[in-house]
Amino acid sequence: MQVGFFDSGIGGLTVLYDSLRLLPELEYLYYADIENVPYGTKSKELVKEYIFTAVDFIIKQGVDALLLACNTATSIAVRELRSKYQIPIIGMEPAVKPAIRNTKEKRVLVLATPLTLKEDKYEDLVSRVDQNHIVDSLPLPGLVEFAENYEFHNPAVEAYLRKELAVFDLDKYGTIVLGCTHFLYFKKIFREILPAGIEIIDGNEGTIRHLAKTLQVPLAGEGARPLDLLPGQVSLYLSGEKGDKELIEKYFAILA
């Protein structure tokens, strides 16, 4: 069984990493639309064109299911994609609900792309689960570009985050939600600059569990080593062209 993974770029590799670890028996096709990344700062109409072009290509490769490993793509296109295609399509959304459930007497800060945060899908999610109005949001488009440029240890990354987060009294927050798959590469930096005790969560594992349930396949007990599975079980496409899997190895090394 082959599952297609789609993202605007390399952010979705964080989801693929977890899927290889938890669902090592599957085969994977990963499509990164690197010619058009970033999505989060572009118009909804243009991004939809990119998404449907990419998904048409992925479906033609004969995948059995599709995972949108991109919060932005999910927020603006998942309903239309499900109407058009017959295979299961799994989306992602910021982990607002578990963040609220786990946060006691403090606030929740959701970090995502500008396009994700201004879509009705996100606003509907927050209005549905945030009964006490404890959720705040912050767009961080710069992190996508840092990740795509493989800039993880550049002092400019920390400076950017400190500047953007400075508008919040972080001592009032109990949970930070990473609502863009690109942001997971920066967990170490977030832990260094955030006050002690703030929990950092994302939607990756919940999404993989949903995928497993949809496909009716068991999760691995102790988990596999993603880098060991990479050579035989993953095909890579970069905006429709066959890609070199050394790119995946490079980004997996950040996550290992």
Looking at the annotation, which residues are catalytic? Answer: 70, 180
Rounded (10°) CA dihedral 198, 204, 210, 213: -110
Residues 256 and 228 sit within 8 Å (Cβ to Cβ): no
C-alpha 105: how far from its chain's center?
A: 27
Q: What are phi and psi of 211, to 5 degrees?
A: -60, -45
Q: Count of CB atoms within 10 A of residue 171's CB?
A: 9
Write down how long the chain is. Answer: 256
Bridge partner residues of 90 (DSSP): 67
Q: Count of CB atoms within 10 A of residue 241's CB?
A: 9
For 94-116, letters b (16+ CB in 10 Å) and e give bbbbbbbeebeeebbbbbbbbbb
